[in-house]
Amino acid sequence: MSRGLGRVERGVLEHRAGCPSATTRQTAEHVYGAPATESQMRAVRRSVARLVEKGLLGGPSEPVSEPPEHGLIRAEIDRLAATGEEFDADTVRRRFAGDDEDSRTVRRALYYRPRLIGALIGGAARRGVISRVGMVRSGRSSRKSGRGMLWTG
């Protein structure tokens, strides 16, 4: 039995040599020559991990920079936390209701990812920037008076 590189590992090395920032799906499609199944993607992930262990492939690529809307929302959460006033996700959303470029950028992102503000508020809570002080009913009709958390810095 050979102890050399397997077919998938050789394919990964070949593809990553030409496209070092390729995604797992792109690499799997190159290796298998067709749209990749989930099991094929897992095989490629295992191969990448083994090649990194052996030192034949560079470590994980540089982290992708975060989208600009994340920074805008995070800055607004930090600003609200610094004031010490209570706020909720609707307060953050109202900040981006204007017609400036930042507001349009955030609204475009919220169209595709409506839970983005909640996710970034949760991240701020895990970082210790804000803490939960209560609950509030949402005034947005789309939320149908659903509960929301009330936060303070």
Please report, for the chain, the start and end positions of each structural domain, with discontinuous segments joined by +.
7-54, 68-152
Rounded Cα distance, 118 and 148, in Å: 10
Cβ contact 139:131 at 8 Å = no
The token pair that represents 107 in the structure block: 């609204």
In whole angstroms, give the CA distance from residue 3 to residue 122.
47
**From the centroid of its chain, how far is CA 35?**
24
Residue 20: predicted pLDDT: 80
Cα end-to-end distance, the chain, whole Å:
62
Sequential pLDDT tens for the chain (153 residues): 567 788 999 999 898 888 888 888 889 999 999 898 999 999 999 998 888 888 888 765 555 567 788 889 999 999 999 998 999 988 899 899 989 999 999 999 988 888 899 899 999 999 899 999 988 887 777 767 778 888 888
**Confidence (pLDDT) at 66:** 74
pLDDT of residue 96: 92
What was the pLDDT predicted at 76?
92
Q: Collapse the DSSP code of 109 into the 3-class scheme (helix H, G, I; strand E, B; otherwise coil) and give the result.
A: helix
CA distance 106 to 135: 25
18 CB neighbour count, 10 Å cutoff: 8
The structure's pTM equals 0.57
